[in-house]
Amino acid sequence: MHHALITGANRGLGLEHARQLLERGWHVSAAVRNPDAATELAALPVGEGKLDIHAYDAADPASAEALAKGVTGPIDLLFANAGMMAPETRKFGQAAGEAMLQEFRVNTIAPLALVEAFVGQVEASEMKVIALQSSRMGSVRDNESGGGYGYRSSKAALNAVGKSLSIDLKDKGIVVLILHPGWVKTDMGGPNGQLTVPESVSGQLDLIARAYGNPVMSGRFYHVSGQDLPW
């Protein structure tokens, strides 16, 4: 049974990743800020899979090490999915502040801390895939509308982290994917998104399946469609 660790699995894309992987018979370790409030996650039908729910706060860099004490065994897919967008940093004027620091803690530092805590378990697995949930808004070349100071810059920094990880972990046989889920109808993406949550997750899982044993995919920035995105 393949094993996935997914952060931010209590809603949106993370919840749907847990749902679809359980349907495929995976063991899912779902990391959420408040397990007692993750009622929708806890109610997922397990089928042939297995679901464990763990406490994890992406805003706390020490939370990854604490999580590593509770999640055991090889991890085929380590998915740093948890993220945030602070409304205070969207427009120029007062963007530089504590809210922007929080975006970097959650969107950039937390995924790196997660990989540092679990790299040995990923290396010990069959698939050896790390996925980072980025965003097209992290593309510097693609920015033609401005704004989004905290979210854009923290996701651009995450992309740089992912690229470095792909180089540093190459000798361990680990493939690192940097993913844009598309414009999805979620709380963050809004009601006008072009993709439903199941459609986006299905596309991302297809990319993850392709990455298994395929090092040429490591360190690349992918649209959910499979298209390479510009940095």
What pLDDT does 185 receive? 64
Q: d(Cα 123, Cα 68) in Å, to the nearest integer?
A: 14
Options 69, 151, 163, 185, the catalytic residue: 151
What pLDDT does 194 receive? 75
Q: Is the pLDDT of residue 108 over 80?
A: yes
Query: Taking the model in full, what pTM does it have?
Result: 0.95
Options 155, 172, 212, 222, the catalytic residue: 155
What pLDDT does 199 receive? 95
Mean pLDDT of 86-111: 97
Active-site residue flag, 149? no
> Average model confidence (pLDDT) for the chain?
95
Domains along the chain with CATH numbers:
3-223 (3.40.50.720)
Q: What pairing do the DSSP bridges indicate for beta strands 50-55 and 129-133?
A: unpaired
* Three-state secondary structure call for residue 70: coil
Active-site residue flag, 155? yes
Q: What pairing do the DSSP bridges indicate for beta strands 50-55 and 77-80?
A: unpaired
Q: Is the pLDDT of residue 22 over 90?
A: yes
* β-sheet bridge partners, residue 32: 55
